[in-house]
Copies of this chain bind each other. A is one copy, B any other.
């Protein structure tokens, strides 16, 4: 029995002509890797690999992700552990239990990510046939994302430090896959406590440029309670670890 750690990465990108999207609305994209060995050789799969003896789960997720896509998201959240018996064909030599992490990256990070013959970004609306149960995993990740966006800072990952309400609404629309009434959206957001006005406006030539907002820093993007912050310690190139955020608590 093998423990694998995989990652579902979502980026927001403008729609491209070959997709069903209204090109004006951005959509969700994710990187996939073409498998070079059986089972499912030649098919696309989530970035990932076997857990090594000397790393914890989150480090394994970060390592395989970085190795395939060059991405290093600032937060990786554990999504779910997939361990049904039918994940791989009966002919597979080993049973694989997959612990899946997910992250959101902004389009700048994503466009920096190298594409090769074996690593390619796909629209969530236009996925190829996938290895294992990775279609189920992605479906579940999309569902979690769409549920989470209602009440958490999740959209922040796709925006800069400051943004207008219209930009925030567009991100919500892209994630949910439908248009939202601007007035209702404004009321809903302003009734909550997740964003606060910065007191500044977009610089520009319009008479009353839109207000700029920022996220309420008091709210963690990924609240893991007693497991502490999910901000990872990033290994530096000489192997020494530098902390990227509050230290992890045990476990």
- Where the two chains meet, the residues of A that have a C-beta atom closer than 8 Å to any C-beta of B are 1, 3, 51, 53-57, 78, 80-87, 95, 97, 99, 133, 136-137, 139-140, 143-144, 147, 224-227, 249-251
Which residues of B sit under 8 angstroms from A227, Cβ to Cβ?
Answer: 80, 136, 140
Measured between C-beta atoms, what is the minimum distance from A189 to chain B in Å?
18
Q: List 6 A–B pairs whose Cβ atoms lie within 8 Å, in order of A's numbering.
A: A56-B83, A78-B81, A136-B226, A136-B251, A139-B226, A140-B251
Which residues of B sit under 8 angstroms from A81, Cβ to Cβ?
Answer: 57, 78, 81, 99
Q: How far is the CA of A73 from the CA of B54 in the complex (A)?
A: 36
Number of copies of this protein chain within its complex: 2
Which residues of B sit under 8 angstroms from A78, Cβ to Cβ?
Answer: 80-81
Most buried by B among A78, A249, A250: A250
Please judge, given known A-B contacts A1-B3, A3-B3, A227-B140, whether A53 and B95 are in contact too, CB under 8 Å: yes
Which residues of B sit under 8 angstroms from A54, Cβ to Cβ?
Answer: 85
The reply to whether B84 and A225 form a contact with Cβ atoms under 8 Å apart is: no
Which residues of B sit under 8 angstroms from A133, Cβ to Cβ?
Answer: 250-251
Q: How far is the CA of A133 from the CA of B248 in the complex (A)?
A: 14
Extra contacts, 5 of them, besides A56-B83, A140-B227 (Cβ < 8 A), are A1-B51, A55-B85, A78-B81, A86-B250, A147-B225
